[in-house]
Amino acid sequence: MNNELDQNNNKNLYIFLIIGVILVAANLRAPLTSAGALVSFIRDDFGISNALAGSITTLPLIAFALLSPFAPKIARRIGMETTIALSLVLLILGMFIRSASGIGLLFTGTLMIGLAIAVGNVLLPGIVKMNFPHKIGLMTGLYAIVMNVFGALGSGLSIPIATSGNFNWRSALLIWVSLSILALLVWLVQLKNRSKPRGNIKNQQLGGLFKSPLAWKITIFMGAQSLIFYTLITWLPTILTSNGYDIHLAGWGVFAFQLASIPFTFIIPVVADKMKDQVLIAALSGLIILIGIGGLLLGHSELSLLWVILLGVGNGSAFSLSMMFYTLRTRDGYQAAELSGMAQSLGYLLAALGPVLVGGLQDISGSWFLPLSLMLIVSLVMVLTGIASGKNRNVTES
């Protein structure tokens, strides 16, 4: 009887863990994309410049870069489950503070949100590695697609909510806190069965990973993918209009780009998990992006939708594959978190610089030839580092 009860309890904990991972993943994009969609509302309400308003979207990326290396160290001290629970508390507080009155509270809350999401970004691959060793591809694909779907919902629903009834941009941002509270309530179950902190165990540390050539290749692959993604999110409509695309349709280019990526964020990890190595799939994801950017560079507006879809397919594939590398190229959940922290720290730093650098090159040259040529080079770097990262090795063996 006791054994049967234990089995049922373990099954229930397993189900709650799956639901918890899904809900945590749902909170890793929506609080950011919802704010991005409402930047013009926030700018007009406070009467601030476009540059200052734009920092609402870049500040979280800087927070990702700053905290990502430290999230695994905190998790080693107090456990992954506890660290994620505390990050959800920080996320909830940040969302309330962001929606309060005052521009200082807006940026304070935004920074808190970025720091909280950085923890989830870094630790979820470790949670998957630790708890689902035989379902890594399935679980990675599942939480990756949830991240992207809720990110798209955050972009798409925020303006309709903000402009309906008695709502405004503050309430449109705050409505997402209900999702964060739900995630915290479900995740609290994991604290009853949390992993033992690893602070006293000598293990692979971030400093050791900096000496690993393979860890650097994975980091560059992830950084190149992030740079291309955030650059396209920022500049794709402008690029399309410069190629002769209708201004009203150009805005839908970002939607098509994100929509095309969604199925591949799920499919690629499942397929990659069944392969002996991921060399072919990594090379193809980079090549597809290279072809898409090359197409934009040619400037034929009648084929623009094709190039946008290819960019979505390639970027969705590369994004989920980079998360797979954190688990496939490490020996345990804590090392997966360390590699995730290293790659995301430097990767999101590149992502924050990408839109600014590309926009600056366009200002200097007066055309999109030079910026798109730079992105072609970044795509080629993705292909080369993807091939190296895709080989079946461990970061400690490289």
| pLDDT at 230 > cutoff 70 | yes
Q: Which residues of 328-337 are buried (b: 16+ CB within 10 A; e: fewer)?
A: bbbebbbbbb
> Is 252 inside any structural domain?
yes
SS (H, E, C) the chain: CHHHHHHHHHHHHHHHHHHHHHHHHHCCCHHHHHHHHCHHHHHHHHCCCHHHHHHHHHHHHHHHHHHCCCHHHHHHHHCHHHHHHHHHHHHHHHHHHHCCCCHHHHHHHHHHHHHHHHHHHHHHHHHHHHHCCCCHHHHHHHHHHHHHHHHHHHHHHHHHHHCCCCCCHHHHHHCCHHHHHHHHHHHHHHHHHCCCCCCCCCCCCHHHHCCCHHHHHHHHHHHHHHHHHHHHHHHHHHHHHHCCCCHHHHHHHHHHHHHHHHHHHHHHHHHHHCCCCCHHHHHHHHHHHHHHHHHHHHCCHHHHHHHHHHHHHHHHHHHHHHHHHHHHCCCCHHHHHHHHHHHHHHHHHHHHHHHHHHHHHHHHHCCCHHHHHHHHHHHHHHHHHHHHHHCCCCCCCC
| Side chain identity at residue 263, one-letter code | P
| pLDDT at 8 > cutoff 90 | no
User: 131-140, 191-200, 381-390 — which one is most confidently predicted on average?
Assistant: 381-390
What CATH number is attached to the domain comprising 153?
1.20.1250.20
| pLDDT at 144 > cutoff 50 | yes
**If you average pLDDT over residues 273-302, what whole number do you get?**
92
Domain boundary among 168, 193, 218: 193
Are 182 and 239 found together in one domain?
no
Give 83's pLDDT tier (boundaries 50, 70, 90).
Answer: very high
Coil, strand or helix: which one is 276?
Answer: coil
- Reading phi first (left if > 0) and then psi (alpha if -120 to 50, else beta), residue 205 is in beta
Note down the domain range covering 17.
2-193
d(CA 231, CA 150): 20
pLDDT of amino acid 56: 82
Query: Cα 107 from chain centroid?
Result: 21
Are 99 and 174 found together in one domain?
yes
Are 344 and 248 found together in one domain?
yes
Q: How many domains does the chain have?
A: 2
DSSP letters, 199-218, are TTS----HHHHTT-HHHHHH
Are 177 and 143 found together in one domain?
yes
Are 182 and 215 found together in one domain?
no
Give 305's pLDDT tier (boundaries 50, 70, 90).
Answer: confident
Express as a percent the part of the chain with pLDDT over 70: 91
| pLDDT at 199 > cutoff 80 | no
Are 132 and 241 found together in one domain?
no
Give 197's pLDDT tier (boundaries 50, 70, 90).
Answer: low
Give 195's pLDDT tier (boundaries 50, 70, 90).
Answer: low
pLDDT of amino acid 347: 86
**If you average pLDDT over residues 34-55, what whole number do you get?**
81
CB atoms within 10 A of CB 376: 16
Closest among 20, 259, 248, 270 to 120, alpha carbons compared: 20
Are 13 and 157 found together in one domain?
yes
pLDDT of amino acid 201: 45
- The mean of the pLDDT values for the chain is 87
Phi/psi of residue 310, each to 5°? -60, -40
pLDDT of amino acid 198: 60
At 233-269, the pLDDT tens digits run 878 888 888 877 766 666 677 778 888 998 999 999 9
| Side chain identity at residue 20, one-letter code | G
Return the structure tokens found at 39. 């930047």
pLDDT of amino acid 200: 47
d(CA 346, CA 356): 16
* Type and span of the H or E element at 62: helix 50-67
At 97-124, the pLDDT tens digits run 999 888 999 999 999 999 999 999 999 9
At 314-346, the pLDDT tens digits run 999 999 999 999 999 998 888 999 999 999 898
Give 202's pLDDT tier (boundaries 50, 70, 90).
Answer: very low
d(CA 316, CA 118): 20
> Is 201 inside any structural domain?
no
pLDDT of amino acid 5: 47
> Is 298 inside any structural domain?
yes
pLDDT of amino acid 241: 83
Q: Look at the block and give the residue holding tokens 């926009």.
A: 359
Domain boundary among 158, 193, 228: 193
Domain boundary among 171, 193, 215: 193
> Is 280 inside any structural domain?
yes
Angle, alpha carbons 147-207-81 (nearest 5°): 40
At 147-163, the pLDDT tens digits run 988 988 887 788 888 88
pLDDT of amino acid 204: 46
Return the structure tokens found at 194. 């949390």
> Is 174 inside any structural domain?
yes
